[in-house]
Amino acid sequence: MGGSETLYNQFLLVIRDSDEILHSGKLKDFHGLSPRFLKSKNQEDLEFQVEFPYELGNEYQGLGFEVEFKFIVEDNTPTPDPDPDPDPDPDPDPDPDPDPDPDPDPDPDPDPDPDPDPDPDPDPDPDPDPDPDPDPDPDPDPDPDENDSGNPLLPQRPITDEDLKKPVKGQILPATATNLYNSLLIGGILLIGGIVLFFIQKRKREDES
């Protein structure tokens, strides 16, 4: 941090993703987010909202500061087990019980219930509520969390070729690998070839004269 520490200590910071608020409080109290997993060739939206408290007085006029957020990427490839168990269970039970119950009940009950109730209640509820609530919630929230520009914060998703070729401001860097270096290499080769040819022609003229 550089600049006015007094002003820096008053600023507020809110960080959110598509599901929840990750930090909300003073900027000076922010010491980093918990490690997050991001799959290779994927992207996600995080919103960093820095706010100046409106209740601060004129004593903060003319002050300023600079702050830097660092994003660190680490490989998360799991290390395989160098010594897995080669013999999980070499001796399963070879002799299951060969004789289940050989003598089931030969005489089940032949007459479980000869006289069920012949007259159930024919009219359980003749007058249900004729007017249920037709509009329980006419305006549920159809959108995920949105940032100040009205765009929703999207969860992790693959980066497509279209995303790389048509970047949106504040998101992905464009795929800027062009043929510039190839053109420079070809131009350098032609330049060197022209210089060599010039000296060959010059020596021929000197030999002829």
Cα–Cα distance measured from residue 166 to residue 78, given in angstroms and rounded to the nearest whole number: 34
Q: Is the pLDDT of residue 140 over 80?
A: no
The total number of residues written for the chain in this structure: 209
Question: What are the pLDDT digits (tens) for 80-134?
Answer: 776 766 665 656 565 656 555 555 555 555 555 555 555 555 555 555 555 555 5
More confident residue, 209 or 207: 207
More confident residue, 104 or 21: 21
Residue type, 87: D
- Residue 26: CB atoms within 10 A of its CB come to 13
3-state secondary structure 41-59: CEECCCEEEEECCCCCCHH
Residue type, 65: F
Question: What are the pLDDT digits (tens) for 114-129?
Answer: 555 555 555 555 555 5
Cα–Cα distance measured from residue 30 to residue 12, given in angstroms and rounded to the nearest whole number: 10
